Amino acid sequence: MTHSDVKNPTRRGVLAGGGSLVVSFALLSQVLAQEGEVQGASPPAEPRPKLPGSLAGDPFLDAWIRIDGNGKVSVFTGKAELGQGVKTAIIQVAAEELEIDPATIRLITADTGQTPNEGYTAGSQSMQNSGTAIRHAAAQVRDILIGQAAARWQVPIDQLRAENGRVIRADGQALDYGSLVSAEILHVEATPQSRLKPADRFRHMGKSMHRVDIPAKVTGAPIYVQDMRLPGMVHARVVRPPRPGATLVSLDSAEVERMSGVVAVVRNGSFLAVVAEREFQAIKAMQVLEMTARWSEGTKFPKPDGFIQSFKNLPSQQGVVAERSQDGVAAARTFQATFTRPYQIHGSIGPSCAVALLENGTTTVWSHTQGVYPDRAAISEMLRVPPEQVRVIHVEGSGCYGHNGADDAAADAALIAQAMPGRPVRLQWMREQEHVWEPYGPAMLTEVRASLDQAGRIVEWNYDLWSNTHTTRPGPAGSLIAAHSLPTPFQPPPAKLSITPSGNGDRNAVPLYAIPNMRVIWHFLPEMPLRVSALRALGAYVNVFAIESTMDELALMANADPVEFRLRHMEDPRGRAVIEAAAADFGWSNDPLPEGRGRGFAFARYKNLAAYLAMALELEVERETGRARIIRVASAIDSGEVVNPDGIRNQTEGGIIQAASWTLYEAVTFEENGITSIDWSSYPIMRFGSVPERIDVRIMDRPGEPFLGTGEAAQGPTPAAIANAIRHATGKRLYDIPFRAENVKAAIGV
């Protein structure tokens, strides 16, 4: 069962080959056992225990960490920087366990040519998967180097320590890492357990290290894919049909071809693009091309009026998300309500962009995709070439909050590059294309019916949700817009209902509170009249909104304080801790507030298995206009062991503001002929005049606990806290997002 061939030696294979190392490892585990620092699963046995984090998928240490003869350390992650600060956190983790200066690390992120395949950078899982893998790999690499030094000096390893890129022995003699590595030494499989540093010896983890990417971002260094300039590069724009499914009927490209700078009009079936020497030339040519292209009708959009309410009557499949019952409890009072959320956009400030180059039969694509490997699979299928002939390299783009236009732009660029061999093609979407063509966060409708007993405890909870899938990511070529327009088009694969622990449309549909009788059903809508996919937090945004709005109504019925009522039903101590912390930091009370002001509270544990977050906020409703404005927010988050506290704070503040923007302003609008929210004036988002005066984020200290991720934890509690505060301020409950001024005004009836 152990592979001991040279190409794939296991750790034990290598050790058996070098006598002194065996000794040192035996010693090592003795020392570790004494120090009680061993973390992870028990030693290798049959069946093999699972390796920590993404090591399970890519067990070789040198897939993650390499050290050259000069001691220069390279760290490889399959995850991508999306503006969330993951590069910095991974560098902190690696530097900590390797005992080196973080500034000396060279970090290589998602690239199908170089890094492990870690799927998507999504679901707040980068630290759980990649951070965990790299931390363990780094600790094991450090111990291999210590073992090497022990062998060289013929001293027991407990007399050695690693510090600042060197192994040092008691008498002060030192060997640097560069002199201890040799070609194959790190090409070994990781073991399930590692000697991780305890929190009290941390130099980097748990400290707010400055983000490594910020200096470049504030000085205009070329770090975004939008900033790439390759020799001979041309600029491209696509021309999309007026509606999905429309085909190109006729095209007169003669005029465009005569325009200055135009290099080519690329037509492949109904896929249409123009390429020019300079960017503004490409834009002008695109505008002319748009006027001359004639399209078939395509697929009409549904009539918008009452569309979301009609979800209950659309064909659906039922998935049971949770069902538990204990008998013999009598319900005294019941709350029942319907909640909705419209289609919403990711709306990155910079529209999607990609650069592609076809050279020597290989297409290289630089993209801000969340998943270089799945994107490569989709693009190679679309181009009908083997995956090895496509390389996808992640380069940062504008902020990424889920499956946006990145993969589609990558496919567009790859397709255009096929017509321009040898010349790099930079393709960027126009603002309107981003608003209209990116996959939206799905609209949802949910119904809740919950009952209290005489004593004010929740005894029954029924919850039904209607939603499309929240994932139509690549993988298959049919997930790419460009592939739909080819002469032999690829079709989007049919969506499938699946109930998983982390959830999808049903994410966080099950309240974490102690409730004896519960039934939660996902009415899965397979038809997707508007293109949808993952938007930060998936269904958790609306499910937590519905659950936590209901909790407040039940608290009112029970004549209980909303915070106390939540604690009454919360058994998880870490859940209780964030609820108590947020309430304390906010100064939660029942004291009267000035006219028009209200307080709201909300809590969720993201996916019911990741970060805990509770928040309290105060807002003001302007009676004449209905405008709701958040005054202040106090939140508490438990993301497990903390790597970069300021990074957690930054992401949590951002999550709160973004979710507040979704909740107060945002809805995709459409009519049968097409999408009508096409820019920032038809799809307004939060501006400076409306952001809260302050947002506090308390981070719970959880040394030694697994990383839980941070990025999406605030998305669910925010709409609920806002709705609860509006209820408190006005006496009226809002059920339908967004709470735009006119909607609030209508609800409060002034």
Q: What is the binding site for ligand FES (CB under 6 A)?
A: 83, 349, 399
CB of 142 to ligand FES, least distance (A): 35
Q: Which is nearer to ligand FES, 346 or 566 (CB)?
A: 346
What CA–CA distance (Å, rounded) separates 320 from 505? 12
Residue spans of alpha helices (H) in 630-670: 645-665
Q: How many CB atoms lie within 10 A of CB 252?
A: 13
Q: Which is nearer to ligand FES, 488 or 688 (CB)?
A: 688
Facing residues of 193 across strands?
A: 40
CB of 471 to ligand FES, least distance (A): 24
Sites for another protein among residues 263-292 (CB under 8 A): 278-280, 283
Residue of the chain from 26, 249, 349, 609 that contacts another protein (CB under 8 A): 349
Facing residues of 58 across strands?
A: none
CB of 490 to ligand FES, least distance (A): 32
Give which of another protein, ligand FES, none residue 183 binds (C-beta under 5 to 8 Å, depending on kind): none
> How many residues interact with another protein (rule CB under 8 A)?
63
Sites for another protein among residues 484-543 (CB under 8 A): none
320 counts as binding another protein under rule CB under 8 A: no
Give which of another protein, ligand FES, none residue 514 binds (C-beta under 5 to 8 Å, depending on kind): none
Phi then psi dihedrals of residue 412, to 5 deg: -55, -50
Give which of another protein, ligand FES, none residue 679 binds (C-beta under 5 to 8 Å, depending on kind): another protein
Asked if 618 and 725 count as a contact pair (C-beta separation under 8 A), the reply is yes
CB of 342 to another protein, least distance (A): 18
Q: Is 106 helix (H, G, I), strand (E, B) or coil?
A: strand
Query: For 441, which DSSP code?
Result: B
Q: Which is nearer to another protein, 562 or 719 (CB)?
A: 719
Q: Is the peptide bond before 738 cis (omega within 30 degrees of 0)?
A: yes
108: exposed, middle or buried (C-beta count within 10 Å: 0-12, 13-18, 19+)?
Answer: middle
657 counts as binding another protein under rule CB under 8 A: yes
Q: Which is nearer to ligand FES, 552 or 666 (CB)?
A: 666
Amino acid identity of 285? A
Residue of the chain from 41, 56, 216, 288 that contacts another protein (CB under 8 A): 216
Residue of the chain from 399, 489, 526, 529 that contacts another protein (CB under 8 A): 399
DSSP string of 483-526, one letter each residue: HHTSSSPPPPPPP-----SS-STTTT-S-SS--SEEEEEEEE--
221 counts as binding another protein under rule CB under 8 A: yes
Q: Which residues contact 123 (CB under 8 A, 6 or more apart)?
A: 502, 607, 709, 712
Phi then psi dihedrals of residue 742, to 5 deg: -65, -30
Q: Which residues contact 437 (CB under 8 A, 6 or more apart)?
A: 240, 405, 408, 429, 481, 531
CA 199 to each of CA 203, 440, 610, 638, 704: distance values in angstroms, whole numbers, following the listed order: 9, 41, 21, 16, 7
Amino acid identity of 628? A
Q: Which is nearer to ligand FES, 349 or 514 (CB)?
A: 349
Q: Which is nearer to another protein, 22 or 283 (CB)?
A: 283
Residue of the chain from 679, 742, 746, 750 that contacts another protein (CB under 8 A): 679
CB of 429 to ligand FES, least distance (A): 13
CB of 258 to ligand FES, least distance (A): 29
What CA–CA distance (Å, rounded) separates 602 from 618? 12
Give which of another protein, ligand FES, none residue 158 binds (C-beta under 5 to 8 Å, depending on kind): none
Q: Which is nearer to another protein, 279 or 561 (CB)?
A: 279
CB of 217 to ligand FES, least distance (A): 8
Q: Which is nearer to ligand FES, 350 or 456 (CB)?
A: 350
Amino acid identity of 741? A
Identify the CA nearest to 94 among candidates 110, 77, 79: 77
232 counts as binding another protein under rule CB under 8 A: no
Q: Is 638 helix (H, G, I), strand (E, B) or coil?
A: strand
Residues at the interface with another protein (CB under 8 A): 82-85, 208, 210-211, 213-224, 226-227, 229, 235, 278-280, 283, 347-351, 396-401, 428, 430-431, 646, 650-651, 653-658, 661, 679-681, 685-689, 691-692, 694-695
